[in-house]
Amino acid sequence: MEGVRAIFWDVGGVLLSNAWDHTERARALDHFHLDQAEFKARHEMVVSSFERGEMSLDEYLEKTVFYINRSFTLNEFKEYMFPLSQPIPEVLAFARTLAKSGKYLMGTINNESRELNLYRIEKFGLREMFRVFVSSCFVGLRKPERAIYRLAAEITQIDPAECCFIDDRALNLESAAKLGMKTIQMKGLDQLRDDLQKIGVDI
């Protein structure tokens, strides 16, 4: 078995809470008393463009929320959205320790819109841990598309067989595994540490 030289991490659900997944969306819709079915229909029509960086946050919200007059402002809605992102402290600390060891190239492969992604990178000090961000909003590709994993390997010039990808969703791991990456489905920190050790990562 080839050794691991690069570790790629999903962000939402692994290092942090999700930025704007169904749980966060439901909280916002409930807070602002919005119709869930109408929002869902509009969200599904534009989410691909939003996460590929083809649509700004303001444009996305104009399509999904502010297509009619509201009793609250665009800025009030955004001010509610951003703090929905919360850290998973023990996993962040573990990732930071791995990064400081200098033994592995550390990167992300994640689906996120540009403004929320940049906010989370800054807010939670992710630049201190990761050398490359293969984020959907930067590269125009989304998991589980095979091309986003191939791009991560090509950008870093590391053979997929020497890469490990960590995600909390099985579907997002399948294309990475077919490309030749080692994959770990994140369920908890102890399990993650054990699985990394099994593939030869020096913890």
Per the listing, tokens 């600390």 go with 93
Residues 6+ apart with CB under 8 A from 161: 2, 180, 181, 182
Distance in angstroms (rounded) separating the CA atoms of residues 203 and 197: 7
Quick: pLDDT tens for 64-113: 999 999 999 999 999 999 999 999 999 999 999 999 999 999 999 999 99
Q: What is the pLDDT of residues 159-176, one digit of tens each?
A: 999 999 999 999 999 999
What pLDDT was estimated at residue 2? 78
Please give the pLDDT value at position 47.
Answer: 98
pLDDT score of 141: 98
DSSP 41-91: HHHHHHHHHHHTTSS-HHHHHHHHTTTS--SS-HHHHHHHHGGG--B-HHH
4 exposure class (CB count in 10 Å sphere: 0-12, 13-18, 19+): buried
* 1 has pLDDT over 70: no
Note whether 166 and 186 are within 8 A (CB).
yes
CB neighbourhood size of 83 (10 A) = 9
pLDDT average, residue stretch 25-39: 98
What is the pTM assigned to this prediction? 0.96
Enumerate domains of the chain plus CATH numbers.
6-17+86-198 (3.40.50.1000), 22-84 (1.10.150.240)
pLDDT for 183 equals 98
How many other C-beta atoms lie within 10 A of the C-beta of residue 21?
13
Does residue 30 surpass a pLDDT of 90? yes
Mean pLDDT on 122-149: 98
What is the reported pLDDT for 25?
Answer: 98
Number of CB atoms found within 10 A of residue 37's CB: 7
Task: Please give the pLDDT value at position 71.
Answer: 97
Query: Once rounded to an integer, what is the mean pLDDT over residues 56-69?
Result: 98
Bridge-partner residues for 7, per DSSP? Answer: 106, 164
DSSP code, position 142? -
**Mean per-residue pLDDT, 126-145:** 98
Residue 139 scores a pLDDT above 90: yes
Average pLDDT of the chain is: 97
> Which residues touch 49 (CB under 8 Å, ≥6 apart)?
55
* Residue whose structure tokens are 């969306």: 25
